[in-house]
Structure 1
Amino acid sequence: MSAPASQTPTTAAIFQMAWPLTLKAMMLHGIIVIDAYLVSGLGEQALAAMGLAASLGGMLLGILFAFSSATQIRLAQAFGSGRPVALKTGFYAGVIINLATSLIGLGFVLLFGARIIGNLAHTPEIATQAQAYLYVFLCVVLIEAVGQCLGSYFNGCGDTKTPFYSYLIALPVNVTVSYVLIYGLYGFPALGVVGAAVGTVIAAIARTLFMGVRFYKATRAYRNVAGWLHGTLLASIKRHLKFAAPIAGTFVSMTMATNICAMIYAKMSINDFAAMTLISPWVQVAGTFGIAWAQATGISVAQLLAKDTPSAALDEFLSRAWRMAFVAAGVVSFSYLVLIMWSGQIYADLQDETRAALYSFLPILLVLPFPKGSNAICGQTLRAGGDTVYVMNIFIVGSWFCKVPLTALFVLYLELPVLWIFALFLVEELVKFPLFHLRFYAGKWKLGGKDD
């Protein structure tokens, strides 16, 4: 039976989903920043060791996050359809895939992690500390294999506040335990860099237990729901993996492209490289609001498709969501303006050349959120309709046929000013813009959105 247009979520309902996603993402970045700040008291070698180990551990967590994003879409579809067996199938298939992925990653680190760190570390002492941190951090990966799926379950059901509350618990636990164990306070041993990893493990356990208890109270773990959506658990996992693999592939491709560009940036002048290094995390943090709005929109679209919502109602809903996406882009754009105008106060010790490079980024930063936000709405909507392979291909085109080769050309051969290199962030979005929007307006995604 079709749902009338009046049953589509209001703008206020989408905002209620989006703001916890935004703050959760900002707190996630905040944990990394605070850990680095706490470890910085041990000196540059400890900080380098943590950064080196965290880059490998972060890659594993990122892959889990990508698979969990796919699980979130599946669970939103299941929630929209109102079928408990679909919710049960989507959740447990996601957990099993995440656990298998984390075990593969754990095996890779145990086999090759020491060699990779040894080749990248500047000194044997840094390598030793990085290995110790990484081996403890692997526990975080295993815990988050379940924790990310629990978060995806609540997000998919429209309850984005529960995962947000879990980070409200995790952040103070992480800071307190890490600080005590790094410096050996109150009779505890001084573990140094490893103390930061232990703090992250305990915080992950607390976060996962909080969501796990809420999940069990709400569902009794679906023990009373018989069977699986596709007949058997194995068949369901295969279907789930087929849907999720392109989303995970998109993440891996983007991460590799980002790392390659970062290595190319290192060939620029010190001032230009410093400017790029300073602006990148701010772009990521400030942009979370626009991305969270698109993610909340995608969750709603997945639910609506599962309810057989009429095409006209979908169009009306997305029209409203799009208008607010431009408002969100305006907010992000203004935050970039404030950041650049205050960069002299935030980074008072910067050289004039570095500060000038940051100011030169402002025109790009003011425009970037608008095509990026519109592309995000398209991407999340297409994924909600099951068009994950096409979305992956768009990101591959944007990264590997545009940004990476042009970055190499501009930096290594033409030696263009840093503004040209930074402008490639906007060029990449403009390249993806027609690919996303033409596919979106074709409307084939409206025929998908069900995990039958």
Structure 2
Amino acid sequence: MTTPAQHPTPSNRDVFSMAWPLCLKTMMLQGIVAIDAYLISPLGEEALAAVGLAGALGGLLLGILFAFSNATQIRIAQAFGSAGPVELKTGFYCGLLINLISTGIGLIAVLAFAAPAIAGFAQTEWIEAQANAYLSVFLFVILAEAVGQTLSSHFNGCGRTKVSFVSYLIALPVNILASIGLIHGQFGLPELGVLGAAYGTIIAAVLRVAFMGWIFWRDHRWFRDVAGWSRGSFGNALKRHFAFSWPIAITFVSTAFSNQACMLIYATMSVNQFAAMTLILPWVNVLGTFGMSWAQATGISVAQLIGRGATVAQLDAFLSRAWRAAFIASALVSLWYLGFCLSSGVIYAALQDETKQALMSFLPILLVLPFPKQSNAICGQTLRAAGETVPVMNIFIAGQWGFKVPMTALFVLYLDMPVFWVFALVLGDELFRFPLFHKRLYRGDWKHASSAI
């Protein structure tokens, strides 16, 4: 019989096999509203404004849902490592119920407050009406994702990240074709305009959930043959699962609001400086997806190792390998940034020279940024995998509200610093959190975490 000490730890190839589907899935997931916006762009700026307004509210609900699902993913990974069907069943159904409850609360909040918020920002009555209509349909997408993200969390936690990736690979072309048909009245479908994009997204979301649900039924029969619950009862297990999950959700909400606060401050800068920040930040987020996917895969592996009862030596050996590979990945991202900045004058040829110069000035920061960002991500995901979600939340909040937002306000509103120094605060935020994360990780308490759900 193989003991925990004899069980091999995952190789970097194992981590990579989990990371690349996570990365591509995340990029496709982030593109849900972006695809809708692209497909309705022929309808004009007012249609885009309507989708933008509704998408901002819908995206916040989806983000909270994904945060809870990330927690479920870690709990499933721990259960998978311990090879316990009762724990797998408990983690799945606790995650599903929390997703459904959080979605229900979010839907009630949207129904109560979304219309006044949209009315306050919409520039015309037509935009207001279309945004409300789009959001009312998009809410069903969120409901479908409450189930879909729980299924994704199960497969990801079990190391089967390709299942979730394939589900998006199937749903994406369906989303595009259905949306085109319903927006413009093609393929014999009714012409619904802005509303057609939302219906197309619903069709794709339901198809994705059906695909994963079928695989889940084939593999587990919804755990109907597994008796009992972890912790003696479902209620006890649910309380423990929620205690683990809520700090991750709070971290997401804090991040969303701190980013929005910074964007509002950036908007007070000169047009050229604000344009440069608006152009570069999405690239930072997109490339951050690669590093975050590696960190998530590392966290899944750590959770499985803890569930398996791995020794301290095994955990140290695995993290050392994962960190070396992350360093190489960070170097590749830096090279990509180098290529982007050197070619930015060609990519954005229509921009004014001042904006191009601002983009080029970001290069020194971009060359360094991937290294602390990636290392912090691995620390955060590892600590979460061991159950330390509250300390990770505290570190994020300290960086966001104790450093990034107030320093951005100081640099922009009071000191009127050049855009280079304002963007440098993105790196400064990572450097602020760097010692906090690494001190917590090197303390080593997480290596003795309980694997029980």
TM value normalised by structure 1:
0.98
Task: Give 1:112's aligned residue.
Answer: 113
The gaps in structure 1 that reach 5 residues or longer are none
Distance 2:86 2:346 in 1: 56
The alpha carbon displacement at 1:188 in A equals 2.1
Alignment of 1:351-370 (within 5 A): 351-370=352-371
* 1:271 is the counterpart of 2:272: yes
RMSD: 1.2
Q: Does residue 403 of structure 1 match 2:404?
A: yes
Counterpart contact for 1:286–1:336, Cα < 8 Å: no
- Report the AA paired with residue 275 of structure 2: A
Q: CA deviation at 1:111?
A: 0.8
Residues 74 and 451 in structure 1, CA contact (< 8 A), matched pair in contact too: no
Aligned AA for 2:43? L
Residue correspondence of structure 1 range 2-401 to structure 2 within 5 A: 2-4=3-5, 7-401=8-402
Per-residue CA distance 1:200-241 (angstroms, 9 max, x = gap)? 111111111111101110111100000110222222111110
Secondary structure of 2:225's match? coil
Residues 95 and 241 in structure 2, CA contact (< 8 A), matched pair in contact too: yes
Displacement of 1:6 in angstroms is 5.4
Deviation at 1:331, TM superposition (A): 1.7
Q: What residue identity is the alignment partner of 1:317?
A: F
Q: Following TM superposition, by how much is the alpha carbon of 1:104 offset from its aligned partner in structure 2, in angstroms? A: 0.5
Segments ≥4 residues shifted beyond 6 Å: none
Q: Output the amino acid matched with 1:10.
A: S
Aligned counterparts of 1:302 and 1:186: Cα–Cα separation in 2:
47
- Contact 2:386/2:446 (8 A) holds in 1: yes
- Retained in 1: the 8 A contact 2:76–2:157? yes
**Deviation at residue 366 of structure 1 after TM alignment:** 0.9
Offset, 1:2: 4.8
CA shift, 1:278, in A, is 1.2
Structure 2 counterpart of 1:335, which letter? W
Counterpart CA distance in 2 for 1:439 and 1:306 is 21
Q: Could you list the runs of 5+ residues in structure 2 that have no partner in the other structure? A: none
Q: In the TM superposition, what whole-angstrom CA distance separates every residue of 1:82-137 from its partner, at most 9, and x where no partner exists?
A: 10000000000000000010011101111111001001112221111111110100
Give the counterpart letter for 2:199 in structure 1: V
Partners in 2 of 1:280 and 1:12 — Cα distance? Answer: 30
Q: Which amino acid aligns with 1:45?
A: E
Structure 1 residue 451, shift from structure 2 partner: 2.8
Take 1:64 and 1:22, find their aligned partners in 2: how far apart are those partners?
Answer: 18
Identity over aligned residues, as a percent?
Answer: 62
Do the aligned partners of 1:73 and 1:302 also contact (CA within 8 Å) in 2? yes
- CA deviations on 1:16-61 (whole Å, 9 max, x unpaired) are 1111111111222344333222111111111011011000000000
Cα distance in structure 2, aligned partners of 1:31 and 1:338: 28
How many Å apart are 1:4 and its aligned residue? 2.4
The Cα of 1:367 is off from its aligned counterpart by 0.6
In the alignment, the residues of structure 2 paired with residue 196 and residue 301 of structure 1 have an alpha-carbon distance, to the nearest angstrom, of 40
Shift of 1:449: 4.5
Query: C-alpha separation between the residues in 1 aligned to 2:278 and 2:130?
Result: 24
Which amino acid letter does the alignment assign opposite residue 268 of structure 2? K
2:64 alignment partner, SS class: helix
Residues 235-284 of structure 1: CA deviation (Å, up to 9, x unaligned):
21111101000010100111110111111111111111111111111111
Work out the CA distance in 2 between the residues paired with 1:346 and 1:5.
Answer: 53
- Tell me the SS of whatever aligns to 1:287: helix
Residue 431 of structure 1 aligns to which amino acid in structure 2?
A: F
